[in-house]
Structure 1
């Protein structure tokens, strides 16, 4: 998949394309259904499959007071989109000047002139452009005038559950990482670099990898069963998020204990795949009680992880 970041649409990037537009934070199952439709239509039309998105997320600029924690980093998002066999990811810098662009001008300049759109796939009730004026009604009119097909999809979900980025954010923020799997089609992931910590776990016989991360959406404080990815290999583990009240707190940390792993992780990048939440962070009266609880946590994690890495259809 090619990735192009530009706001220069003076030259063509595609001769023929099938396009979808959106923020696609989290690349959840609803997004992947859109990408699948784009890919299939592109194959039928002999066109490139194109995803258009924006950086930063428009709400970061348009509503900066709103507490928006993105599900994926840009690197994670790009990798997930590439998994859907997309040919081109066009990332448009979202600036105040671009935010003022009328939707019709965007369609004519970017979609028609630059991308040679032959079909446009949009999600349910999607709108874009200045004042969200790029709605289905406007697109229907322009599709007839400019000669492209408009494909508006129904809401994507399962039973009573509609897949949405806002719902994923809410579930993860509450610590319901198991519930998020049904929407994401995979575990919520946090990627980080292992850095030195207080080394408390090591003194207890449970050495942990303390990470710093660029991910914005961190699960609620607690203890979790996780798969830990190191250099492409998965290892069972437990993750603690929060302060350590038994040892007088300290800074907020994300610490992972990898079961049956023997190696130096300092400075390395690891990925935490959050499977389920075990419990809250609590203060123990003594170290022996804490160690007994850790042993219980490890046993529960092993049971939860026996089925492997959760993946939804």
Structure 2
């Protein structure tokens, strides 16, 4: 649960899985008014904004309902549960493709038959002809199409990981990087990206590599090189993707790899002059 107002005082709620908290989701939140709240149906498979990270992208309080615990409910039982959590509930906002109840039997329009307050169903949101949908955003992430991902999200895509020890080769032979262990987040296509690295709530310009380290041990890594002076802080590190630079590729030597890294750094510096996260 998160937010500055009490869930109990909420009069309007938006319901959905809300993985991504993207621009279509934000259209639902715009309908909530001053006494709103967000109900997250948590399927525990979120890869864009896992868990309570969703709360970071809204000022409304969030109530998480685990799908496994409510999937057996019929329509009347579902509405009764909502009224229990929100005794002053007057309005429900959902997307056009919302479904609820056992086996997703009920659709958005069925809310009118079971809820005695206002129901607002928000139409599909498209940007440049592309539907803003978590499934579609995930496909763009897998392809490394970061510009399109960020356009649909309405912000830079961010992953969060824990800092771990690396090989030690970077600081000696290449450039010193932070190595991250990332779980639950969908990682972009293997390659190099212009990024911002977040440490203890401060953002720093950076270039990030995701992929197999072919020149050394062949292992998979997520590592970021910060392009400016920074202050060490929490071991929890955020990476915000600004732009794709190049795909991962093999090099015949550390010398060739270092030359490529130097070129990547120059490109990232130029890109980040124009893109903020």
CA contact (8 A) 2:192 2:244 kept: yes
With normalisation by structure 2, the TM-score equals 0.91
With normalisation by structure 1, the TM-score equals 0.81
C-alpha change, 1:255 and 1:133, in structure 2 (3 Å) is same
Q: Tell me the equivalent position of 2:250.
A: 283
Distance between the aligned counterparts of 2:108 and 2:207, measured in 1? 46
CA contact (8 A) 2:199 2:232 kept: no
5+ unaligned residues in a row in structure 2: which ranges? none
Q: Tell me the equivalent position of 1:8.
A: none
C-alpha change, 1:16 and 1:31, in structure 2 (3 Å) is closer
Asked if residue 51 in structure 1 is aligned to residue 38 in structure 2, the reply is: yes
Q: How does 1:219-258 map to 2 (within 5 A)?
A: 219-249=188-218, 251-258=219-226
RMSD (Å), alpha carbons: 2.1
Asked if residue 306 in structure 1 is aligned to residue 273 in structure 2, the reply is: yes
Distance between the aligned counterparts of 1:285 and 1:77, measured in 2? 43
The structure 1 segments of at least 4 consecutive aligned residues displaced by more than 4 Å after TM superposition are 262-265
CA contact (8 A) 1:194 1:209 kept: yes
CA contact (8 A) 1:190 1:215 kept: no
CA contact (8 A) 2:178 2:223 kept: yes
Deviation at residue 131 of structure 1 after TM alignment:
2.2
SS in 2 for 1:197: coil
Deviation at residue 221 of structure 1 after TM alignment:
0.9
Asked if residue 25 in structure 1 is aligned to residue 19 in structure 2, the reply is: yes
Q: Give the number of aligned pairs.
A: 274
Asked if residue 209 in structure 1 is aligned to residue 181 in structure 2, the reply is: no
Distance between the aligned counterparts of 2:185 and 2:196, measured in 1? 19
Distance between the aligned counterparts of 1:2 and 1:75, measured in 2? 8
Q: 1:170-192: CA deviations, max 9, x gaps?
A: 11111112210001111110111
